[in-house]
Every structure is written in structure tokens, then in C-alpha cells.
């Protein structure tokens, strides 16, 4: 459970840095826009795009912060934001645990297409331009939850409860894997990120524990078939598959510089 514990430490650590006034020397702001060490601006690039389309103007400081974040995830970390930073992950992981523990089944009335989140992404950008309003930022459950935690309000508890119920009783991973436009955005820009999960077919015993636990099962299509790194931007680099693999068939890989035989 080393990656799970590390992810929780990172998620809670970031929220603590943003939430405690005694840590203002480290960070000020929230996950949408913040300044670290009174020097480094960091901005959500998807929020930045919405603001640009809504206002038809560009703020240099916000632009620089958005470029930093986009560069880090696109080049190095992939869609790691969803597993290592986003507070919604805490809720959906709990819902997944409860769902598995009690054997809850999906509602036959709720069928969500895997590409729905990309349609929501496009819709958010189009409506931001048409309505002159950053649409997703205005209603973002991510923003409500993280600002509620950071600033100590209680309204986020209702939103968290709704998300928990949807993922527990209606459809597994409905919010993060099917609906979230921010997750779709990071999936699109992180297709060629260096950090990847690599599958070693020679070690695999085809137990498929990794696929069972993976929140984005489609990215592990090579398991039991061929040695290959996960190339899909939809992988959230959570490390769950690595943790449950008893055969050392899955590992994190930055660059495989060994020649292929």
C-alpha cells in the first residue's frame, strides 16, 4: 500500500499547505490558482482556457502558472493530478471500497459512455465562449470540495455525499472516469508523458488483479499478452495495479533506455 499512503500524504499535504494560515509562506490560494513560496504561480490550465474563452483576454501571471502545470503533467507526470492531487479522488476511492465491500451493483438505468467526459470538456469550452463565463469553474464540484476543505466551510459535505452515492450505488467511477472534463483535459495532454506503467509479460501469471482494481481498466489491455508500457493518457498513475501485482509484472517506468531484443 506504499503508493496509496504516499498519494494520501501528497493530497492532504497540498490541502494543508493551502488551508492553514500558518503555512502561508509555502502557498496561498487554491487548486485553481495559487502562489507557492511567494514566487511560483500555479494555475489550472483547463480553468485558464475557460477564462480566456469567456473574457477574450489573457493575464500574464495566470498564463505562466498554467504553462508550468501543463508542462509538468504533459511531459513528466501524465494524468497524475487525478490520483495524487484532486480531493475528489479521496471520495471516489472510498466509494469504490464500499461498493466492493458490500457488493453493490450498477443501476441498469445508468449507462455512461467512456467518452462522455470528452463531450463535457468540449461543451464546457464552447459554453464558456458563448456565455462569457468559465462554465465548469462556476459549478465545479472539485472547486466546491477543495475550497470547502481549505476554508473550513461545510457546504462541501453535501456535494461530497452526492458524489459518494453516485459512485457507490449508481455507476462505478462515474464521476472521474466518465464525466469529469478536467480528467479528460489531462488525459488529452498527457498522451506522451514520460512516467508510465510498464507491463512485463514474462512475469505475468494472468491473475488479472491489476485489471480488477484499476479505475481505468481499458489502459491495461496488454496485460497477459505482451510486454508494453501503458500509452493511454487516461492512466492516472495511481500505482494500484503495481501494488496488487504479486509477480512484479507491473512497474513504474520513466524511460526504458535498454535496447529491445
Give the whole-angstrom CA distance, residue 65 versus residue 178: 27
- The pLDDT tens digits for 141-152 are 999 999 999 888
Calculate the alpha carbon distances from 92 to 29, 77, 185, 214, 230 in Å. Answer: 24, 21, 19, 13, 23
Span 49-66, average pLDDT: 96
Considering only 45-59, 144-158, 181-195, which range has the smallest mean pLDDT? 144-158
- Burial group, residue 39, by CB count within 10 angstroms (0-12, 13-18, 19+): exposed
Mean pLDDT of the chain: 92
Are 47 and 137 in contact by the 8 Å Cβ rule? The answer is yes
Span 229-254, average pLDDT: 94
- The pLDDT tens digits for 197-216 are 999 999 999 999 999 999 99
Give the pLDDT of residue 260. 44
Give the pLDDT of residue 109. 63
Name all domains of the chain by residue range, CATH numbers in brackets: 2-189 (no CATH), 196-253 (3.30.70.20)
Q: Identify the CA nearest to 182 among candidates 118, 237, 96.
A: 118
- The pLDDT tens digits for 69-108 are 999 999 999 999 999 999 999 999 999 999 988 888 877 6
- The pLDDT tens digits for 177-186 are 999 999 999 9
pLDDT tops 90 at residue 245 = yes
Q: What percent of the chain has pLDDT over 70?
A: 96
- The pLDDT tens digits for 102-136 are 888 877 666 788 899 999 999 999 999 999 999 99
3-state secondary structure of 138: helix
Give the pLDDT of residue 258. 45
pLDDT range class, residue 255, cuts 50, 70, 90: low
pTM: 0.92
Amino acid at each position: 500500500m506504499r503508493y496509496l499512503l504516499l498519494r494520501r500524504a501528497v493530497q492532504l499535504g497540498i490541502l494543508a499547505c493551502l488551508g492553514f494560515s500558518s503555512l502561508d509562506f509555502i502557498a496561498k490560494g487554491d487548486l485553481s490558482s495559487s502562489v507557492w513560496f511567494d514566487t511560483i504561480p500555479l494555475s489550472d490550465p483547463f480553468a485558464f482556457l475557460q477564462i480566456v474563452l469567456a473574457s477574450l483576454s489573457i493575464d500574464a501571471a495566470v498564463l505562466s502558472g498554467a504553462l508550468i502545470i501543463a508542462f509538468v503533467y504533459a511531459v513528466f507526470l501524465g494524468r497524475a493530478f487525478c490520483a495524487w492531487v484532486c480531493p475528489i479522488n479521496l471520495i471516489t476511492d472510498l466509494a469504490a471500497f464500499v461498493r466492493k465491500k458490500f457488493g453493490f451493483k450498477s443501476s441498469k438505468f445508468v449507462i455512461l459512455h467512456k467518452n462522455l467526459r470528452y463531450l463535457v470538456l468540449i461543451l464546457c469550452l464552447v459554453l464558456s465562449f458563448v456565455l462569457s463565463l468559465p462554465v465548469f469553474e462556476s459549478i465545479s464540484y472539485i472547486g466546491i470540495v477543495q475550497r470547502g476543505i481549505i476554508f473550513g466551510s461545510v457546504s462541501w459535505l453535501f456535494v461530497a455525499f452526492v458524489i459518494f452515492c453516485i459512485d457507490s450505488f449508481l455507476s462505478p467511477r462515474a464521476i472521474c472516469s466518465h464525466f469529469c472534463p478536467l480528467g479528460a483535459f489531462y488525459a488529452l495532454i498527457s498522451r506522451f508523458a514520460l512516467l508510465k506503467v510498464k507491463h512485463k509479460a514474462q512475469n505475468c501469471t494472468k491473475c488479472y488483479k491489476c485489471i480488477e482494481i484499476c479505475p481505468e481498466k481499458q489502459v491495461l489491455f496488454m496485460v497477459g499478452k505482451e510486454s508494453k508500457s501503458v500509452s493511454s493518457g487516461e492512466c492516472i498513475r495511481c500505482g494500484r495495479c503495481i501494488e496488487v501485482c504479486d509477480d512484479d509484472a507491473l512497474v513504474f517506468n520513466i524511460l526504458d533506455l535498454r535496447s529491445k531484443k
